[in-house]
Structure 1
Amino acid sequence: MSTEQEQALVGGWTAFHPLTPEDKKVFEEAMHGFVGVVYTPLEVSTQVVNGVNYRYKCSASMPPSEVIWQAIVEIYQPIDGKPHVVGITRI
């Protein structure tokens, strides 16, 4: 199956890939106002459903500490409405 076919497969997750400007916009909108841990998206995987599910692979830190870990931030973008965080998992 080609990459284009995988991306068009409804319900299937894409492979993790670099963020597009739209992916960055969804992340920033969903994380607006989030305080405490700073999440920096590195890659994203998407799933087309009734809207779009996003899995952002992120580096995470809690300033001023220099400790950095990895996390998956899951965001749902409904067809009509604002994207919102549905889960954060430390990996």
Structure 2
Amino acid sequence: MKVSVTYAEARHQAVLDAEVEEGATVEQAIIKSGILKKFGGLDLGSLKTGIYGKLVPLTQVLAAGDRVELYRPALGKPPKKGAAAAKEEAGSEEEAA
């Protein structure tokens, strides 16, 4: 059955098709696709994986047509919603004055 495996970095993205057996797992599809060789330095054990945006383990069994996604670690901390909203509101009040 045919599935695709995708990974993206800031300057390089790839979507690779892989032909896998029925009952294949996410891990097997990633290995079969060759994406780990294309993006040297990827550590499968430390990456999160998903299917169509939903996090799944490497042991997840695939269905025909699934898109396996490799998620790279986030760089830095996202701003806190409350603090970001308060800062934005304070900035708009200063502009109005």
Q: Quick check: TM above 0.5?
A: no
Q: Considering only CA atoms, is the larger Rg found in Structure 1 or Structure 2?
A: 2
**TM-score, with structure 2 as normaliser:** 0.29
**1 or 2 for the larger relative contact order (CA 8 Å, sep ≥6)?**
2
